[in-house]
Structure 1
Amino acid sequence: MIGLEAAFPYIDTHTAGHPTRAVLGGIPPLHGRSVREKREDFERRFDHLRSALLHEPRGHAAMVGLIPVPSEVADFGAIFISSYVYLGMCGHGTIGLAKTLAFTGAISQESGDRFTLETPAGVVDVRVEWHEDGRLGAVSLKNVPAYRRFEGLEVDVEGVGAVRTDILYSGMWYAMVDADQLGVALTPDTASANLALGWKIKQAIADVTDGLPEMLGLPAPSVLFYSNLGQGHSRQFLVLAPNKYDRSPCGTGTCARLAQLLLRGELSDTDTYRAENIFGVPFTAELAEKSEVAGTTGYSVIVRGEAHLISQGTLYLEKGDPLSKGFLSR
């Protein structure tokens, strides 16, 4: 088409409210054998496409993108990109990918009820449930092992005082913060206030953890507020940036939260954990197995949720557009 620099076909889904934009074409071939190497090549050479495809006017601060890539060790490969950072693993995005694969016919009842996915954090096992009419139902993924790096880390937060947190890894880093102890309500009406508070806490944690070898190459721990609703049942609100929170309960964050509950002895190895977002839409999680990771106990968690289709189309970059690279207002 005359006047176009590039075109990118895409499918948008949401998983418990949080978007996943699968970019199905238009990305130049990426160098590297592993998905991690391909992600590093994308970041090095095509980071301008991340902002163009995810930021306004084509997206927004909360948009998460997914670029399918070939894998030498799994059925599929995927690079997860977001409005601010690159992700090692993304639970809601993996569930969204399964929905996209089912919609395009890449997986079906005939192809079975499982596939493997190589992510920058490692290979995850994905199981899918099919309705009798062939529609995709719930999706379960066995995540990379979660483990705890800090227990009871105390940080001083301006205007708040001392905040205690456990910091765990589950493909990304998460700082667990008890919302009840801070008197924080996790509701849609308090989202803006919780973003401001969570960002202060995240900055304080980043000052303490900056430069630690195991955290190099990944963003600082995001703040996962949790509020207990009963035995094995919590509400979760994940603060990613001053203007960005995870609309879902957060798939990898739920894995980290279950690992924390197991380490504390608040749940047993056979219990199921239910995490809901501020809209009451849940993920469930259960322990698959334990292993030794980074000199400590790792918890491989299966998290289960469901994605829904939003739209299908093509994103264009037009010659002469002064905002073709995208923008974010913070």
Structure 2
Amino acid sequence: MINLSASYSVIDSHTAGHPTRVIFNGIPRLNGKSVRERRDDFRNRFDRLRAALLHEPRGHAAMVGLVPVPSDVADFGAFFISSYVYLDMCGHGTIGFAKTLAFTGQISPSTGDSFTLETPAGVVAVALDWDQGGALAAVRMKNVASYVGVEDLEVDVAGVGRIRTDIVYGGMWYALVDARSLGLDLVPDRASQLMLDGSIIKAAIKNAIAGMPLFQGAPAPSVLFYAADAPDSATHFLVLESNKFDRSPCGTGTSARMTHLLHKGILQAGQVYSARNIFGIPFEARLAESTQANGREAAIVEIRGNAHVTSAQTIFFEAGDPLSEGFLSR
């Protein structure tokens, strides 16, 4: 008989290729009144579980986890965990959560065509498109307010050259970089080189913005390479670390890019922006409403996409396992 020290029930899905692992049980009771407070309590007391549940040998560098928690202000509450940082908001993860709720029967056509979700970044509205057979065909997520933080930042990057970027908030901070201006092809066969170049650019941008009050206390902006084939259509490749990229077009990143296009007047209200990943799978974005955030003009962007369940499993931790804390190879 195997001597188990712990077990966790999870459901895995992917949203346009990027994983979401919803952790349904095994998480200790968390203190706090809001989702953000409960997330912070998890980080302070149980961060070891993040690595154990997401990293190898039970996960991998690109795994994203979602922890459902109670909410006093929304239908559901959840926070997001990843290999390196805690995410205030995650678009692909929200879409994956909706798919998982449908898979488990917690939402269905009989419960309605929308729900609200409290995240550490705020409450988001999630609309549901059900097909005639009662299956979830698509998810439409209204993101938190997105806005432009810094425009026309120029940085010299060793081995890459001089880059120009605009940094935009879409729930997390993103440095938008035109891939074609650097001669980069956004294709699967170039993923390793793109991650390397993007991580070097990310480090240079982090140094360049150090001390700017706008970014204090936030993770460094991730690099969103884009290659536009039309004003309303582009391929995205989001570099998170030297060994991690977002397989999806990135929901919050797409919100940032859409907001930037609106800010520049390249797109107008009412137009739809199509953001594809390197496998050709799109997210669709549109302006839901204009607003103000952090003293700036801001946009509420709706992202439309879908997720697919890949497994329902129990993750075991056997007593005496020398790799129970998880590991990452960079």
TM range (shorter): over 0.9
Counterpart CA distance in 1 for 2:34 and 2:217 is 16
* Aligned 8 A contact 1:60 1:328 in 2: yes
CA distance in 2 between partners of 1:267 and 1:138 (Å)? 24
**Which residue of structure 1 lines up, in the alignment, with residue 308 of structure 2?**
308
Matched, 1:320 2:316: no
Match of 2:123 in 1: 123
Name the counterpart of 2:138.
138
Instruction: State the AA in 1 paired with 2:116.
Output: T
Distance 1:74 1:242 in 2: 36
Q: Which 4+ runs in 1 deviate beyond 3 A?
A: 211-214
Question: Does the 8 A contact of 1:92 with 1:250 survive in 2?
Answer: yes
Query: Letter of the aligned partner of 1:90 in structure 2?
Result: C
CA contact (8 A) 1:88 1:218 kept: no
How many aligned positions are there?
Answer: 330
1:188 aligns with 2:188: yes
User: Identity over the aligned pairs, expressed in percent?
Assistant: 61
Counterpart AA for 1:271: Q
- String of CA shifts for 1:206-257, please: whole Å, max 9, x gaps: 1122343332332100000000112300000000000000000000000000
Counterpart contact for 1:96–1:308, Cα < 8 Å: yes
1:12 matched residue in structure 2:
12
CA distance in 2, matches of 1:214, 1:325: 35
TM-score normalised over the length of structure 1: 0.98
Give the 3-state SS of the residue equivalent to 1:110 in structure 2: helix
Are the aligned partners of 2:255 and 2:303 in contact in 1 as well (CA < 8 Å)? yes
> 3-state SS of the aligned residue for 2:148?
strand
Contact 1:154 1:164 (8 Å CA) reproduced = yes
Question: Distance between the aligned counterparts of 1:149 and 1:65, measured in 2?
Answer: 28
Query: In the aligned structure 2, how far is the partner of 1:38 from the partner of 1:216?
Result: 21
2:206 paired with 1:198: no
Shift of residue 153 of structure 1? 0.5
The answer as to 2:259 corresponding to 1:259 is yes
- SS for the counterpart of 2:111 is coil
Task: Tell me the distance in 1 between the aligned counterparts of 2:19 and 2:205.
Answer: 27
1:229 aligned partner: 229
| Amino acid aligned to 2:36 | R
Kindly indicate whether the alpha-carbon contact (under 8 Å) linking 2:2 and 2:318 is maintained by their aligned counterparts in 1. Answer: no
Distance in 2 (CA, whole Å) between partners of 1:203 and 1:23 is 32
User: Hey, what's the Cα distance between the residues in 2 that align with 1:302 and 1:22?
Assistant: 23
In the alignment, the residues of structure 2 paired with residue 132 and residue 174 of structure 1 have an alpha-carbon distance, to the nearest angstrom, of 38
**Matching residue's letter, 2:79:** I
SS at match of 1:259: helix
Tell me which amino acid in the other structure corresponds to 1:95: I
Alignment RMSD (CA, Å): 0.9
Give the secondary structure class of the aligned counterpart of 2:126: strand
How far did 1:2 drift?
A: 5.3
Q: What are the ranges of 5 or more consecutive residues in structure 1 without an aligned counterpart?
A: none
Question: Which residue identity does 1:86 align to in structure 2?
Answer: Y
Q: In structure 2, what is the Cα distance between the partners aligned to 1:133 and 1:51? A: 39
Question: 5 Å matches for 1:35-74?
Answer: 35-74=35-74
Q: How does 1:22-41 map to 2 (within 5 A)?
A: 22-41=22-41
**Distance change >3 Å, CA 78–CA 211, structure 1 → 2:** farther
Aligned residue for 2:45, secondary structure, equals helix
Kindly indicate whether the alpha-carbon contact (under 8 Å) linking 1:210 and 1:220 is maintained by their aligned counterparts in 2: no
Query: Aligned equivalents of 1:232 and 1:210: distance in 2?
Result: 33
Note if contact 1:147-1:299 (Cα within 8 Å) is conserved in structure 2: yes
AA in 1 matched with 2:203: Q
> Is the Cα contact below 8 Å between 1:18 and 1:247 reproduced in 2?
yes
Give how far 1:133 is off: 1.2
Q: Which amino acid aligns with 1:261?
A: L
1:87–1:218: 8 Å Cα contact kept in structure 2?
Answer: no
| Distance (Å, rounded) in 2 between the aligned partners of 1:217 and 1:4 | 38
Residue 160 (structure 1) shift: 2.0
CA distance in 1, matches of 2:13, 2:167: 30
Letter of the 2:248 partner, please give it.
S
For structure 2, which runs of at least 5 residues remain unmatched after alignment?
none
Give the whole-Å Cα distance in 1 for the aligned partners of 2:230 and 2:213.
Answer: 37
Cross-structure match for 2:288: 288
Secondary structure at 1:47's aligned position in 2? helix
Give the residue type in structure 1 aligned to 2:219.
Answer: P
Give, in whole Å, the separation in 1 of the partners of 2:100 and 2:189: 31
Shift in CA distance, 136/203, structure 1 to aligned 2, threshold 3 Å = same
Distance 1:305 1:143 in 2: 13
